[in-house]
């Protein structure tokens, strides 16, 4: 009996253990409080960081204003660049048109000079035909015979001016001409006749005129060969005898 009483005194008396009473907080309130604390800490840290930058002379609003101003200036510069590029393209187009026009004018001027030279040459021919010296000249003569290289290798341009004078004046001359070309290649010499038997432009070598006739054409040789001499021969239709023989002036 005494032992049971002693146990009761230990549980409820002065020697009894201390009992702590705690209030139970729901878990979602604890998480909400933690989130609020973290947000407050982040806001405080951001404020302290911004305050530190301001204290150091860095203002974010001023930087944003400067960036906006820079963007606006960049947009203006790009717009100005586009305008200047359009002006430059227009100027280039104008220069190209002017160059094309100048080239055409130069070509027209060259053609006019050639035509002027042709007219002067024909005038000289008519004056020669009307002179007394020409009246006693040969019935058929060569006023000009030139041969010069053309644009492509192996191509040569020939120019011939024939004049009918004396007793033949007023009568039409019918005939043909041919070129005897002397070639050298690898220390070897050769002779060819133009037009050959297979030349398609043999009709260009036919002659038919009363007073004078100009012949302008091209003949071709092996590009590796060198033209050493060119001789002009004129034949009258129905005859194998040469009426005129003339050596070319090579240019």
Phi, psi of 52 (to 5 degrees): -65, -40
Q: Please give the pLDDT value at position 51.
A: 66
Instruction: Give the chain's residues under pLDDT 50.
Output: 132, 134-136, 167
Tokens standing for 216?
A: 């302008």
**CA distance to 9, 14, 15, 122, per residue, from 4 (Å):** 9, 16, 15, 162
Q: State pLDDT tens for residues 56-89.
A: 555 566 667 778 888 888 888 888 888 888 888 8
Q: Please give the pLDDT value at position 9.
A: 57
pTM of the model: 0.49
Q: State pLDDT tens for residues 113-133.
A: 878 877 787 777 666 655 645
Cα–Cα dist 125/214, whole Å: 11
Q: Please give the pLDDT value at position 126.
A: 65
> What does the DSSP 8-state code read for residue 188?
E
Nearest to 214 by CA among 173, 161, 174: 161
* CB burial readout 115-136, b (16+ within 10 A) else e: eeeeeeeeeebeebbeeeebee
- All structural domains of the chain: 135-250 (2.60.40)
Q: Please give the pLDDT value at position 135.
A: 46
Contact between residue 159 and residue 145 where contact means Cβ atoms under 8 Å apart: yes
**CA distance to 65, 106, 250, 251, per residue, from 227 (Å):** 82, 32, 9, 11
Contact between residue 219 and residue 179 where contact means Cβ atoms under 8 Å apart: yes
Phi, psi of 76 (to 5 degrees): -65, -40
Tokens standing for 10?
A: 């230990």
């Amino acid at each position: 009996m005494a032992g049971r009483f002693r146990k009761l005194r230990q549980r409820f008396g002065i020697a009894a253990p201390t009992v702590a009473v705690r209030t139970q907080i729901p878990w979602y309130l604890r998480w909400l409080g933690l989130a609020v604390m973290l947000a407050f800490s982040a806001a405080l840290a951001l404020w302290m960081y911004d305050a530190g930058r301001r204290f150091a002379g860095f203002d974010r609003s001023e930087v944003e204003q400067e960036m906006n101003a820079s963007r606006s200036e960049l947009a203006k510069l790009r717009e100005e660049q586009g305008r200047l590029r359009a002006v430059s393209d227009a100027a280039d187009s104008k220069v190209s048109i002017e160059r094309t026009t100048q080239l055409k004018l130069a070509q027209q001027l060259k053609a006019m000079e050639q035509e002027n030279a042709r007219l002067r040459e024909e005038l000289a021919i008519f004056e020669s035909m009307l002179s007394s010296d020409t009246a006693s000249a040969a019935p058929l003569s060569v006023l000009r015979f030139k041969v010069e290289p053309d644009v492509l290798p192996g191509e040569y341009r020939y120019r011939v001016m024939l004049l009918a004078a004396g007793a033949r004046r007023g009568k039409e001359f019918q005939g043909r001409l041919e070129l005897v070309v002397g070639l050298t290649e690898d220390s070897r010499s050769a002779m060819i006749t133009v037009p050959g038997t297979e030349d398609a432009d043999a009709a260009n070598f036919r002659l038919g005129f009363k007073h004078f006739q100009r012949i302008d054409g091209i003949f071709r040789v092996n590009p590796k060969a060198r033209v050493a001499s060119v001789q002009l021969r004129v034949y009258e239709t129905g005859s194998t005898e040469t009426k005129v023989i003339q050596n070319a002036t090579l240019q």
